[in-house]
Amino acid sequence: MTRPSLAPIAAALSDTVPFVGPEALERRLGQTFLARLGANENPFGAAPTALAAMAEALSAGWKYGDPENHDLRLALARHHAIPSDAIVIGEGIDGLLGLAVRLYAAPGAIIVSSLGAYPTLNYHAAGFGAEVVSVPYREYAENLMALATTARRERASIVYLANPDNPMGSWHSAQAVTQFIDAVPPSTLILLDEAYGEFAPPGTLPPLDTDRPNLLRLRTFSKAYGMAGLRCGYAIGERQTIAAFERVRNHFGVNAVAQAGAIAAIAAPEHLDQVVQLTAASRARIAQIATDNGLTPLPSATNFVTIDCGGDASHASGILTALAARRIFIRKPMASGLDHCIRISVGTPADLDMLARELPQAIAALG
């Protein structure tokens, strides 16, 4: 049968998604998860004022959202004390990564990232015909100088760093990140993913710099602000770098409900502080549960804890599968050198009570 042909880059790709969602796993297992501890979501939710603002915006859902995201950019500019034209809004960091790759990585271009780092970048790189050159982690952390050296050697169009890191939860100091930024060639765009920045200890995030043309700082409302399902994130950078997004972005991509919720969330710092405290307490509980079961929790500056299971990748996968059978959803790193670990997101006290009850049985089931 004659049919339209895919473009060459798309034709060479397989059907894939960067993550297998918990919903897909539930359909496969034929049962719902009772504890959702794998997607690095914020179970403590958005601020009540943000929920109210979104409910009000929903009642006016017959209207298009502002394609310029003007009020949200202005609220963020005031919050960060930077110009509003140094900010672009997108459909979460995932959407902004795709736009950045489209803008700065031509087909055949090199993108440098860490082996096992956030996979959405690799997904977009493949979709636009770029090539990813990977740098191994070093002691469960991204190797900053190796990333910078590789970017220089490969004449990379883009280099990607998450600080704090997903999937390991590790972090570098602001001083170390600044040294990394200075070591990257000015012709290479730095994508500095700070999705978990609100959870990081003081001294982790460098001061905002909107004068450097090759630096984009990526932030989100999905994590600490509790709005993962709304898909709203933003990038901070130099004006001309930010202006380039107007050439390719989906101008109605961030809906009116998300914009209203994000504006209200910024204005509720007391709720953010409460979420950070609850997250720290939940991390500590997860770490204790891991220790009680002979596993080794790694230090974390995020809303999850990565746990060294003390065996190989098969052993870690076995724990993940056994927990899924007990209706607890978690995830694990997949790259060599990291794949003997599992990753558990923070949860409510009831979620973690269930984890404490079921983890020993899951481990015992492996024999």
Q: Measure the CA–CA gap between 235 and 330, rounded to whole angstroms.
A: 29
Alpha helices in the chain (DSSP H): 8-11, 22-29, 48-59, 70-80, 92-104, 119-127, 144-154, 174-183, 239-243, 256-266, 269-292, 313-325, 349-365
Q: What does the pLDDT look like over 34-74, one tens digit per residue?
A: 999 999 999 999 999 999 999 999 999 999 999 999 999 99
Measuring CA to CA, how many Å separate 326 from each of 34, 260, 307, 321? Answer: 9, 38, 19, 9
Residues 6+ apart with CB under 8 A from 8: none
Q: Measured between alpha carbons, how far is 262 from 286 in angstroms, rounded to an integer?
A: 29
DSSP 331: B
Same structural domain for residues 186 and 309?
A: no
Whole domain around residue 40: which residue ranges?
A: 17-45+270-365
Residue 258 sits in the same domain as residue 294? no
**Sheet of strand 296-297: strand arrangement:** 296-297, 304-308, 341-345
Same domain for 125 and 196? yes
Same domain, 253 and 348: no
74 shares its domain with 121: yes
**Residue 3 belongs to some domain of the structure:** no
Q: What is the pLDDT of residue 323?
A: 98
Q: How far apart (Å, rounded) are the C-alpha atoms in residues 142 and 106? A: 25
Which pLDDT score is estimated for 47?
98
State residue 149's pLDDT score. Answer: 98
**Domain stop point among 267, 284, 300:** 267
33 and 58 share one domain = no
Domain co-membership, 244 together with 303: no
* DSSP conformational letter for 88: E
- Amino acid letter for position 3: R
Please state, in angstroms and rounded to a whole number, the distance separating the CA atoms of residues 321 and 227. Answer: 28
On the question of pLDDT at 16 being above 90, the answer is no
Residue pair 25/330 in contact by the 8 Å Cβ criterion: no
In the predicted structure, residue 367 carries a pLDDT above the cut 90: no
Among 267, 295, 330, identify where a domain stops. 267
Cα–Cα distance list, 262 to 79, 95, 190, 222 (Å): 12, 16, 25, 10
pLDDT given at position 17: 81
Inter-residue contact 344 to 307 (CB < 8 Å) = yes
State how far the Cα of 63 lies from the Cα of 255, in Å rounded to an integer. 10
pLDDT of res. 7: 93
Instruction: Look up the CATH number of the domain holding residue 99.
Output: 3.40.640.10
Q: Output the pLDDT for position 41.
A: 98
| 340 within a domain of the structure (yes/no) | yes
Say what percent of the chain tops pLDDT 90. 95
Mark whether 204 and 152 lie in a shared domain: yes
Is residue 224 within 8 A of residue 272, CB to CB? The reply is: yes
Burial class (CB within 10 angstroms; exposed 0-12, middle 13-18, buried 19+) of 17: exposed
> CA 18, 312, 324, 44 torsion: positive or negative?
negative
Q: Which two tokens stand for residue 127?
A: 């979709």
Q: What is the total count of domains within the chain?
A: 2
User: Do β-strands 328-329 and 35-36 pair in parallel, antiparallel, or remain unpaired?
Assistant: parallel
Name the β-bridge partners of 257: none
Encoding tokens for residue 133?
A: 């050159």
Q: What is the pLDDT of residues 278-334, one digit of tens each?
A: 999 999 999 999 999 999 999 999 999 999 999 999 999 999 999 999 999 999 999
**What pLDDT score was predicted for residue 19?**
79
5 within domain boundaries: no
Nearest C-alpha neighbor of 198 from the set 176, 228, 216, 222:
222
Tell me how far apart the alpha carbons of residues 6 and 246 are, in angstroms, rounded to a whole number.
26
Which has the closest alpha carbon to 267: 100, 112, 74?
A: 74
CA dist., res. 357 & res. 33, Å (int): 15
Q: Does residue 12 lie in a domain region?
A: no
Query: Are 125 and 101 a contacting pair, CB within 8 Å?
Result: yes
pLDDT digits (tens, 9 = 90+) for 120-173: 999 999 999 999 999 999 999 999 999 999 999 999 999 999 999 999 999 999
Residue 227 has pLDDT above 90, yes or no: yes
| Same domain? 295 vs 263 | no
Tell me: do 38 and 52 sit in the same domain.
Answer: no
Q: What is the mean pLDDT of residues 196-219?
A: 97
